[in-house]
Amino acid sequence: MVISSDKKPRVWFITGCSSGFGRALAETVLEQGETVVLTARNPQQIKDLAASFPDRTLAVQLDVTKPEEVREAVKQAIANFGRIDVLVNNAGCEVAGVIEEVPDKEVRREFETNFFGVLEVLRAVLPHMRQQRSGHILNFSSIACFDAGAGGGIYSSSKLALEGISGSLANEVAPFGIKVTIVEPGWFRTDFFRRSYVLTDTQIEDYKPLINEIRQQIIPVQEMKDMAPGDPRKAALAMIKVVDSDNPPIRLALGADTVETVEGALEFMKSELDAWREVSMSTDFDEVAAEKIEVPS
């Protein structure tokens, strides 16, 4: 499928193009006739993709945890194509382990990649989008934000932090014609768990059964990624459809598993809110509460 002649080709800037969602999205966008700034920590891993579309790609080295590389990558993108229409913050990693003992070094590495790295890219790209008074930003979050699984607290908190700034960002940049969508994928057939997932060991005896259980669950996932229900190619098409939309969602759930998880989380939150409504509502000053009581006419 190629974009129609009356539609102006866009310039996409995608982080983490060496594999997974980044690679699938870049390939799909290029096949539709658009332009992509391909980024990866190791540009050799995207050399083949750039060679297949030499006139519509720019391969750039980019480790999002290095601000100088972020600035240089954006500078090269503008110098080559004059604009960035779609920014996709896809690069990420996961360090799993119990909250009590995940090393500070690993916690900070997680946030440097999943949160501060994204923040750095946003701040480098936004001035150009504001100047052109248009753009669309896709920030990759996760199903983990709606499923507080044991061992995943550090990862989900980094993604929840990203969701927090994404919501505010959407309101801040809307007057400039810039749109923001949070992408929330479930389990897809990518190499994420093999390439970007680390489970720390535990030294605390009480947690050993839990860590062993997580390890037994993750090993099959790493070895049998082809069993995952999600198709990265279809995810790419869904993201393109969102960017094409005049009224895109602030959140895009990808995969039936994510939809079910989000629905379950919302139902659970509603049931707890209803169960504790009286206690929650009892905390206002008496005179304030009295003002809220409706008097029958």
Q: Could you read off the pLDDT of 196-243 as tens digits, one per residue?
A: 567 888 889 999 999 888 888 776 555 555 677 789 999 999 999 999
Inter-axis angle of helices 232-244 and 20-31, to 10 degrees?
60
- Is residue 191 within 8 A of residue 225, CB to CB? The reply is yes
Show which residues are catalytic. Answer: 141, 155, 159
The share of the chain scoring above pLDDT 70, in percent, equals 91
3-state SS class at 38: strand
Q: Assign 44 a pLDDT band (cuts: 50, 70, 90).
A: very high
In the chain, what are the domains?
A: 11-254 (3.40.50.720)
Unique residue bearing structure tokens 């400039």:
176
pLDDT band at 189 (very low <50, low <70, confident <90, very high): confident
Is 70 exceeded by the pLDDT of residue 146? yes
Question: What's the burial of 71, exposed, middle or buried (CB within 10 Å: 0-12/13-18/19+)?
Answer: middle
Q: What is the pLDDT of residue 178?
A: 98
> What is d(CA 20, CA 189) in angstroms, rounded to the nearest whole number?
8
Predicted local distance difference test score (pLDDT) of residue 290: 75
- Residue 226: its pLDDT value, please? 67
pLDDT more than 90, % of the chain: 74
CB atoms within 10 A of CB 196: 17
- Please say whether the beta carbons of 181 and 139 come within 8 A: yes
CA 237, 243, 249, 250 dihedral sign is: positive
pLDDT at 281 over 70: yes
pLDDT of residue 1: 39
- Mention every residue, 6+ apart, whose C-beta is less than 8 A from residue 236: 21, 24, 25, 27, 28, 29
Amino acid identity for residue 150 in this structure:
A
What pLDDT score was predicted for residue 4?
A: 41
**Distance in angstroms (rounded) separating the CA atoms of residues 19 and 24:** 7
Question: How many other CB atoms are found less than 10 A from the CB of residue 267?
Answer: 10
Structure tokens at 191: 């190499």
pTM, two decimal places: 0.90
Average pLDDT score, the chain: 90
Q: Which residues, in sequence order, are CB contacts of 145 under 8 Å at separation 6+?
A: 156, 159, 160, 163, 184
